[in-house]
Amino acid sequence: MYGVLICSRCGTVQGVDLSHARVDCVRCWTKIKVSRAKIYFSTDSPQELAIAVRRLAERERGQETPFIISKGTAVRGGDVGNLEAIEATIAELEGEKGQLTYMDLSSALGLTGATLDKMICRLLAAGIIYETGPGTYRVV
């Protein structure tokens, strides 16, 4: 089961796996106790989760500062450091291929290993992509 919550420290709306006792905020890395957090929406569907994250984030916008990826996270071919630019890149790739694999994301983002895993977690939590199967993703 997945849920949507809002970080009490930075106000970022994010999707989490409710089976975890604690999660790290995707933006400020605050440890969030899942059992104590207000869950705005819950679902078993990764796609519904992603859509719910986006809806709530849109509703909350105005109180929220833009979602900027921490320094040091570079996207190949440029100095792009925000999720919107990454979203545009992977949405274009998905348009060509129909769906995205772990390796597609690796080559599109120029990331590998733990850095790529962390980025995928962020993209999932931010409602930009959702998992369609083991190692396959679609843009919401």
Q: Which residues of this protein are in contact with Zn ion, per CB under 5 A?
A: 7, 9-10, 12, 25, 27-28, 30
Q: Answer for the pair 132, 138: CB distance below 8 angstroms, yes or no.
A: yes
Residue 130: CB minimum distance to Zn ion, A? 21
Distance CA 137, CA 60 (A): 26
Q: Which is nearer to Zn ion, 11 or 47 (CB)?
A: 11
Residue 6: CB minimum distance to Zn ion, A? 9
Residue 11: CB minimum distance to Zn ion, A? 7
Q: Which is nearer to Zn ion, 25 or 52 (CB)?
A: 25
Residue 111: CB minimum distance to Zn ion, A? 22
DSSP one-letter string for 97-110:
HSSEEHHHHHHHHT
119 Cβ contact partners less than 8 Å away, ≥ 6 residues apart: 69, 73, 86, 105, 109, 111
Q: Which is nearer to Zn ion, 10 or 91 (CB)?
A: 10
Distance CA 35, CA 44 (A): 17
Phi, psi dihedrals of residue 37, rounded to the nearest 5°: -80, 150
Residue 30: CB minimum distance to Zn ion, A? 5
Q: Which is nearer to Zn ion, 68 or 103 (CB)?
A: 68
The amino acid sitting at 60 is E
